[in-house]
Amino acid sequence: MNIPHTPRTAGPLAGSVVVDLSRALAGPHAGQMLGDLGARVIKVENPGAGDDSRSWGPPFAGPEDDPQSTYYLSCNRNKESIALDLKSDDGAETLRRLISRADVLIENFRSGVLDRLGFSTTAMTELNPRLVVLSITGFGHDGPEASRAGYDQIAQGEGGLMSLTGSGPDDMQRVGVPIADLLAGIHGAYGVLAALLERERTGRGKVVRTSLIAGMVGVHAFQGTRATIGGMEPLPGGNHHATLAPYGLFECQDGAVQISVGNERMWLRFCEEFGIDSADPRFATNGDRFANRDALIAAIEDAFSAYTPEPLLQKLSEAGIPAGVVRTLPEVYAWEQALSQGLKISAPHPTIGDIDLPGPPLRFFDADASGETETTVTEHLAPPRLSEQEATIREWLEG
């Protein structure tokens, strides 16, 4: 299948150019987010093997002589690819030309690598004073442990997230996706957008730095203040909330449902619907319920034992109690509500054919007196094969 390259002209970042030197996940995820917003993202890869994640599998898709890693496919949509040896004269010169025409450059090399190649932040901004540079590292670009390599599970542990996750204090677990990488990419992307907005006032670019560890600490939320202000050491609590009760996963007949009882009015209504004694002193306040959570869970699961999930969810909905089930990923991608939000997209790939991908999490609308008109980008590029658009990119640089 030969899919001609069509420049993207829609989206809030249409007309912007992003040079993506990153590999694996954190940087590529940031680049993908900017591509989803309409930017032209040019992925610069090593000749031969390309991005590390191209080999991360199984599973793979496509022909046996050109397998495509589904890991790589998850974080490189809406990009073009060119392979450059940055140690060669041609590779270095081509990158300099790309930098001169770019709005944003993304890199996640270990500290000092780009400097040794002649592409320090100072050198890049001399080439293009309007350039916004996003630099993502494992532990930060400075400080006593800046030289450490950053990998997601290590960052989840070092950044405290694993100490909060699992069935209990003796069962600490990693999150089921590379959340440290993903959050570093998300934080990096919003940092880039802020720098681009500032550039409208100053005319100059900015260096934006974040790290996997920063991403972890940045989402500690109330668990962080339980430690810093409350003097506590938060520990894993399984599928139940660390401060609210009842709030979590509860067994019922032939399954389980999740409920979130967020205030006292809701609790009294819940008790009335399910025959739980709201006057029981063990359950009088949220603090009491939390202190007696084992007894609370037992009482609720006893009440739920008369119901299978579907009628139980219907009863909870009628009572105004937020509730839901735990879906598998295939169930999510078949779910009408997810599809209505554009959370699964399709794009034509030259060797695999049409592929389904997780969709962008943002939608955009123009609003005026007559109402809203959706302007969300719906045409997407499949993740590129290695150096797939090299001829197109070089022709553009010559123009």
Catalytic residues: 181
Instruction: Write the DSSP string, 19-43.
Output: EE---SSHHHHHHHHHHHTT-EEEE
Q: Which helix (H) or strand (E) holds 133?
A: strand 132-137
Of 356, 324, 352, 325, nearest to 343 by C-alpha is 356
**Alpha helices by DSSP H, 166-220:** 179-202, 212-217
The answer to whether the beta carbons of residues 250 and 304 sit under 8 Å apart is yes
List the structure tokens of 135. Answer: 């630099």
Query: Which residue matches tokens 């991608």?
Result: 333
Residue 189, C-beta contacts closer than 8 angstroms, at least 6 positions apart: 29, 30, 33, 34, 134
Query: Which residue matches tokens 């509500």?
Result: 337
Which of 45-78 are b and which e, b meaning 16 or more Cβ less than 10 Å from the residue's Cβ?
Answer: bbeeebbbbbeeeeebbbeeeebbbbbbbbbbbb
CA distance 262 to 319: 14
CA distance 24 to 323: 36
CA distance 138 to 298: 43
The answer to whether the beta carbons of residues 80 and 42 sit under 8 Å apart is yes
Q: For residue 7, is the peptide bond before it cis, meaning its omega torsion is within 30 degrees of 0? A: no
**Alpha helices by DSSP H, 244-292:** 264-274, 286-291
Q: Return the ∠ at Cα 221 (arms to 215 and 225), rounded to 5°.
A: 120
The answer to whether the beta carbons of residues 104 and 196 sit under 8 Å apart is yes
